[in-house]
């Protein structure tokens, strides 16, 4: 179940993949994503789902923040995709400091409303309905699937970086990432009645 929630490309996966392609702190980013997901999954399974489902205001705040962030992230991907020299745009991104990359990853993870829907609503309600012993095993399985995915994605992107780091492929990747981010933002806005 956790793997099914994580596998579709979203902001977090796109960020991990891009860091892997650049071979820039990709294992650190995978670690931070896995730790963040573990915290969110455990919080959802062990009681957080009730908090989010009982607070429409909190859900609306998370949704608005998520829509704004997804639009901003998509805009950056589109700018790179349509730049005259994507290699130069990628080189400028590669100059980012470690802390800027960490802050961006934390924003991609914690401002993404889908992560709360997946971990709190779906996994939280499924895990919360189990006995306490089964709930622990369910949480361990979900956290393990998340960690395996993020490390696998970062390592595979780094291995394939010679092929994925060409100008043409970068344009395609950034265009697809931008389209997915804007599509998720529109879908989220519609689901939550933002427009």
Report residue 19 CA to chain centroid gap: 13
Tens of pLDDT along the chain (195 residues) come to: 667 767 667 788 888 998 999 888 999 999 999 999 999 999 888 876 666 667 778 777 777 777 887 888 889 889 888 887 655 455 555 566 888 889 988 888 887 777 877 787 778 878 877 888 888 999 999 999 999 999 999 999 999 998 888 888 888 888 988 898 888 888 878 876 655
128 found inside a domain = yes
Identify which of 161, 178, 183 has the alpha carbon closest to the alpha carbon of residue 79. 178
Distance, in Å, from the CA atom of 147 to the CA atom of 38, rounded to the nearest integer, reads: 8
pLDDT computed for residue 160 by the predictor: 93
4 found inside a domain = no
Both tokens assigned to 146: 């998340």
187 found inside a domain = yes
Does the pTM of the predicted model rise above 0.85?
no
Range of the domain at 170: 11-191
pLDDT computed for residue 183 by the predictor: 86
100 found inside a domain = yes
Cα-based distances in Å from 18 to 29, 119, 170, 175, 177: 11, 24, 9, 13, 10
157 found inside a domain = yes
Cα-based distances in Å from 193 to 71, 104, 182, 190: 17, 27, 16, 5
User: Which secondary-structure segment (H or E) carries 73?
Assistant: helix 56-81
């Amino acid at each position: 179940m956790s793997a099914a929630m994580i596998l579709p490309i979203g902001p977090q996966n796109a960020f991990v993949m891009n860091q892997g392609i650049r071979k820039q702190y990709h294992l650190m980013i995978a670690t931070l994503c896995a730790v963040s997901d573990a915290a969110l999954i455990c919080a959802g399974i062990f009681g957080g789902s009730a908090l989010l489902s009982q607070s429409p205001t909190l859900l609306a705040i998370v949704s608005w923040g998520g829509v704004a962030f997804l639009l901003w992230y998509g805009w950056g991907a589109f700018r790179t995709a349509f730049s005259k020299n994507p290699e130069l745009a990628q080189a400028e991104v590669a100059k980012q400091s470690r802390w800027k990359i960490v802050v961006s990853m934390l924003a991609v993870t914690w401002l993404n409303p889908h992560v709360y829907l997946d971990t709190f609503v779906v996994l939280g309600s499924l895990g919360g309905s189990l006995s306490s012993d089964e709930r622990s095993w369910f949480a361990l399985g979900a956290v393990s699937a998340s960690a395996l995915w993020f490390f696998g994605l970062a390592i595979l992107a780094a291995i394939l970086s010679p092929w994925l780091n060409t100008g043409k492929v970068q344009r395609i990747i950034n265009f697809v990432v931008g389209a997915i981010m804007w599509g998720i933002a529109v879908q989220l806005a519609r689901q939550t009645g933002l427009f």
